[in-house]
Structures are given as C-alpha cells and as structure tokens.
Amino acid sequence: MRSLSRSLAPAAALALCAGLTACGSSGKGGDDKPRAVGPARTAPASPSASPSLSAAPTLPAGPGGAMPVFSHGARDGRKRVALTFDADMTSDQGPRAARGERFDNPGLIATLRTLKVPATVFMTGRWAEQYPDEARSIGADPLFEVANHSYSHHAFTTPCYGLPTVPRGTARADVERAFAAFRTAGVEHVVPYFRFPGGCHDDATLREMGPAKVTAVQWDVISGDAFAKQAQPVAAQVLSQVKPGSVVVMHCTRSAAPTTEDAVKKIVPELRARGYEFVRVSDLVGAGPS
C-alpha cells in the first residue's frame, strides 16, 4: 500500500539500507498493512514478557495468539500524532563506535525536551549497551517511553533490506535479550511494544512472537530521514502525510540520520500551528475505539 520513501527511488533505498541500520521505509518483504487497529484494547497490559515493563495499553492478540500489530491511532479527527525514533545499532557496529562514529543523537533528545515533545524511542538492546547513560536518561524522562527494536537490528523475515536475519526460532529470544539489556542498563519506563527492524514481518513471525505479549508497532508516516542530506525534504514529507492518529517513523542516530534534529525543529511548530498535539504511542494505543 505504501511505497518506499518518496525521497528515494526503491532501488536506491534498498541499496542504502542494505547492511545498514536505519531503514525506516515501508516494510519491503513485510506486511505493514494497518491492521488490528480494532476497537478492543486491553489496558493496562499484563507485562508477562518482563516484570520490569511499564504498564501500558496493548492490543489484544491476533488470530491464534499472534502478536498484534498497531500502525496508527484512531482516525477520529482528534489531531494527535506520535513521533517515534528508532535508536538503531547492530552487534557488529561496536568497532565503528569505537572509532568515533556516533549512533546516538543527544542533540535530538535535547531538542525534544526543549520543545516539550513527547516521543517513543524504539531502542535496540545493542544501543542501550553502547549508550547506557543516554538510555537511562531517556527512560527516566516522563516525556519519553522506551520500546523494543530488537537486540541487534537483524531482520525477522527475509528479504529485508539485506539485513542479517535472526535465526529461525529465536525471534522471541532476541526480543527478550533487548529487554534484558534495558534492565541491565537501568532503563525505566520500558513499554511492551516492539518494532521490527525494517518493519519486516510475516504471519509466521507474528505467531512465533505471540507469547512475548508485546504489541508490534509499525507506522503510517515515513519521514525519509534515513540517510537524508537535508532536513527540509524530510520535514516536507512528514508534513504532507500526517493525519489525526499518525505514527511517524524517524531515527535517533546521527550516523544514519544526521538531519533529524533539524527536521524536528521544522515539523513541531508547523504541526502545532495546525492544531496537532504530540503524544506517545501508548497514548494512541490506549485511546479507545477507532
């Protein structure tokens, strides 16, 4: 239904994403149809996946106990929008980080704080290990909630932008490993939401992941910030797509998304001028019937 980032031809987007981290494009190889945005919500969650998870609303399980998928909030006219930021880092990027490459983006987080913009950060376990102080700081700030973006940003289905693949049968373990990394780092306000790297998933994966008792979170607005060279086209792309209830996917890594902070500075005042309120994903999931 959605095409790849408007700012990139599909081939270019795939080439850029291959072997890299961000890939905030629509789920090539996955099924990112908005679904399970149904009327029934459970609130608060029974965080059986981890005793340290914050209580937050989740969607009911899908058919056969499959992991439910959330793509956007209710289209009820309420002008609410959730900015989400994927903090990507893979297991093999440690040497690059050691050489000075920055997979974090403290300036972006500071800007969100200055602008008082609530947000949901989808963090890989590897990122929390690399930047434990920042991970803790984000989780301790009531503006933010921390969600799971896998341990090492590997794909859960193939093909998925050339990402290495989580071995079959280990999907749940990977998710639990990320939650464990958050616990080790002392991250608070971890919510039972999971974003598939690249958005790539299929029904078999959702069934395998069902017992984790977390809700998969996709998006309905692709910012195109991954590998963007300028902030203005990113801002324009977001501003042209946001609707009431939208979930916007952006990134919290300077390495692969260096313009995101500047894009946020353009997006936030404009959406506020249009009457939008910024919320976290949990606010949309728990908003009731669509």
Judged by CB, which is closer to Zn ion: 61, or 217?
217
Site map 30..69 versus Zn ion, x via CB under 5 A: ----------------------------------------
Nearest alpha carbon to residue 18 among 164, 230, 144, 132 = 164
Judged by CB, which is closer to Zn ion: 86, or 220?
86
- Cα dihedral: 267, 271, 272, 273 (round 10): 110
**Footprint of Zn ion on residues 225-264 (CB under 5 A)?**
none
Judged by CB, which is closer to Zn ion: 61, or 209?
209
* Nearest approach, Cβ of residue 20 and Zn ion (Å): 10
CA 221 to mean position of chain CA atoms: 12
Q: In the structure encoding, which two tokens stand for residue 179, read together? A: 């939650």
Judged by CB, which is closer to Zn ion: 67, or 256?
256
The residue nearest Zn ion at its CB is 86
Q: In the structure encoding, which two tokens stand for residue 6, read together? A: 């408007």
* 220 scored as a contact of Zn ion (CB under 5 A): no
* Nearest approach, Cβ of residue 191 and Zn ion (Å): 17
How big is the chain, counted in residues? 290
Contact between 29 and 159 under an 8 Å Cβ cutoff? The reply is yes
184 sits in the region (left: phi over 0; alpha: psi -120 to 50; else beta) called: alpha
Judged by CB, which is closer to Zn ion: 25, or 47?
25
* Nearest approach, Cβ of residue 1 and Zn ion (Å): 20
DSSP-assigned letter for residue 67: P
**Footprint of Zn ion on residues 195-214 (CB under 5 A)?**
197
# residues near Zn ion by CB under 5 A? 3
Contact between 27 and 237 under an 8 Å Cβ cutoff? The reply is no
What is d(CA 174, CA 172) in angstroms, rounded to the nearest whole number?
Answer: 5
The H-or-E segment that residue 270 falls in is helix 260-273
Judged by CB, which is closer to Zn ion: 144, or 196?
196
Judged by CB, which is closer to Zn ion: 56, or 163?
163
**Footprint of Zn ion on residues 70-109 (CB under 5 A)?**
86, 88
Stretch that binds Zn ion, among 110-118, 131-139, 192-200, 281-289 (CB under 5 A): 192-200
Please report how the helices 260-273 and 231-241 are oriented relative to each other, as an axis angle in degrees rounded to 10.
40
Q: What residues contact residue 31 under an 8 Å CB cut-off, 6+ apart?
A: 201, 202, 203
| Binding residues for Zn ion (CB under 5 A) | 86, 88, 197
